[in-house]
Copies of this chain bind each other. A is one copy, B any other.
Amino acid sequence: MSARVSIRRAGVADAEVVLTMVRELADHQNEGQDVTVGIDDWTRMLGRDDVVVLVAEQDGRALGYVSALRRLHLWSGAEVLALDDLYVRASGRDGGVGRSLMLALARHAAPDRLTIAWGVRHDNTAAQRFYERLGAKLREKVVVSWDADTYTAALRR
């Protein structure tokens, strides 16, 4: 199957298919409520140089995507490529599409030798093994988030 899969960078005209897949991924992880972005946001974001979305297609149908953001790294003064999502639709699974998307992202990062960095859920051991097979380095971390309601309460005290 993978011979007929092509990968290209998404542009502003792809906002709808990208948003549809972002919602599928979020629903799949029971995090659908966290996707509050709309078509207009994605149209704007896909026009930005620092937003990188690669879409895998087969016979004109989207099979999956990888999204990433170029961001500054304050210890090096250089940029890193912060991977956000990697998603393959059920119809494209076990066909090497995820690996192809990751390698396409690596090709995108290679000219500037950007380090690619991301997080994986602690219980998603299948994904962790997949990334280890690509040679990526994994380590445990504690991630912290402090939302506006919570810090506003702390500021009042």
Contact = CB atoms under 8 A, between A and B. Distances in A.
* Residue among A71, A122, A148 with max Cβ neighbours from chain B (10 Å): A148
Given A45-B74, A74-B22, A84-B74, A131 B152 contact: no
A77 interface: yes
A138 B36 CA distance: 22
Nearest to A72: B69
A2 interface: no
Q: What is the count of identical protomers in the complex?
A: 2
Interface in A93-131: 103, 106-107, 109-110, 113-122, 124, 128, 131
B72 A45 contact: yes
A141 interface: yes
A141 B119 contact: yes
